[in-house]
Amino acid sequence: MSIHSLVDLAPEVAEALQNGQAVVALESTIIAHGMPYPENLETAQRLEQLIREGGAVPATIAILGGRIKVGLEEEDLLFLAQSPEVVKASRRDLGWLLSTRQHAATTVAATMIGAKLAGIRMFATGGIGGVHRKAQETFDISADLQELARTPVGVVSAGVKSILDIPLTLEYLETMGVPVVGVGTREFPAFYTRESGSQAPFALSSSAEIAAMMHTHWQLELGSGILIANPIPEAFSMPAAEIEAVIETALQEAEERQITGKEVTPFLLNRIKELTAGNSLFSNIRLVENNARLAAEIAVALAKLS
């Protein structure tokens, strides 16, 4: 079914949206560039399953054959998980990728755009992009932040990795008027750890409260997205000193190799994974699962309000 000439909705997603049922979007860059095979495929499948168990319909988003596909098939997930040549697509790439009929994985920014076109308000991921360390010199600020400023989709993430400058990322979100909701705590999480030393502007505890806040934000037609910062469960978090040392090494290597542009984040993610011998991958999978569960709960609560 099509609601837009460039978007294909899976029948199940179209039906759920038509009936006002809960739908949760998922990104595909995490599959193609965020994790190795086969963990990426298993995680993509598991996230969809968790969202179903939570009473919502999953809609993984990607660009396939020059179409924005919302709700993927098994073979699509397998393709994204296994093809090394899948392009990483953010906002600026969409017109080019669609007009030249390419395949691509969508970042948080591009997934938010797909979700909005489809009419989906809720999205779960692991971590978003942000203001990079030394952005004062490099100007490296993820397009995810601008997207949060302009596209009305709620994004559940476990905060951001400390490959980024977390205080500056929060300053940027404040400037752009993006609400950052701490889940159960104002401490803003740093992906692998529950603490970053920076604070979210406010905290809410239940999915009903979060859904009510999102609904109200959009009733005011504020137009922006909402970042829901959900800390990794204690049992799966990593020692802060261990992960910080690894991140320092990865950042130094990226600088030495003069990695720039959209290659920066995938390079750092991959080096962190290699340098922690897979420990970080385990934590990463657990926190994304945790985010998918929460997103389904919020989506169900939101569906009751709308």
The residues annotated as belonging to the active site are 27, 161
Largest distance between two CA atoms of the chain: 53
DSSP 277: T
From the list ligand PSU, Mn ion, none, partner contacted by residue 127 (C-beta under 5 to 8 A by kind): ligand PSU
Distances (CA, A) of 61 to 76, 94, 96, 110, 303: 10, 13, 17, 9, 20
DSSP class of residue 158 equals S
Interaction between residue 269 and ligand PSU (CB under 6 A): yes
Residues within window 196-215 making contact with Mn ion, judged by CB under 5 A: none
Which amino acid belongs to residue 215? H
Q: Which residue has the tokens 């920014």?
A: 109
Residue 48 C-beta: closest distance to ligand PSU, Å: 17
- Decide: is 140 part of the binding site for Mn ion (CB under 5 A): yes
Closest Cα to residue 125, out of 9, 265, 289? 289
In angstroms, give the least distance from the CB of 285 to ligand PSU: 12
**Cβ closer to Mn ion: 51 or 164?**
164
Nearest alpha-carbon partner for 126 in 275, 287, 4, 303: 287
Q: Rank residues 140 and 297 by Cβ distance to Mn ion and give the closer one.
A: 140
Residue 29 contacts ligand PSU per CB under 6 A: yes
- With CB under 5 A as the rule, give the number of residues binding Mn ion: 1
Distance CA 266, CA 195 (A): 23
Task: Out of 103, 161, 217, 271, point to the residue binding ligand PSU (CB under 6 A).
Answer: 161
Applying CB under 6 A, the site for ligand PSU has a residue count of 19
Taking CB positions, which residue lies at the least distance from Mn ion? 140
Number of residues that this document lists for the chain = 306
Closest contact distance (angstroms) between CB of 22 and ligand PSU is 23
Query: Which residue type sits at 36?
Result: P
Segment near Mn ion (CB under 5 A); pick from 24-32, 77-85, 140-148, 294-302: 140-148
For 101, counting Cβ atoms within 10 Å of its Cβ (0-12 exposed, 13-18 middle, 19+ buried), the class is exposed
Written as six digits, the tokens of 264 are: 């920066």
Nearer to ligand PSU, 17 or 104 (CB): 104
- Give 159's contacts (C-beta < 8 A, 6+ positions apart): 127, 166, 188, 189, 190, 191, 196, 229, 231
Return the residue matching tokens 């029948």: 11
DSSP summary character for residue 111:
H
165 binds Mn ion (CB under 5 A): no
Nearer Cβ to ligand PSU, position 21 or 146? 146
| Closest CB 88 distance from Mn ion, rounded Å | 11
Please select the residue that binds ligand PSU; options are 103, 194, 262, 293, rule is CB under 6 A. Answer: 262
Residues of the shown chain interacting with Mn ion in the complex, contacts defined by CB under 5 A: 140
Residues of the shown chain interacting with ligand PSU in the complex, contacts defined by CB under 6 A: 27, 29-30, 34, 90, 107-108, 126-129, 142-144, 161, 191, 262, 265, 269
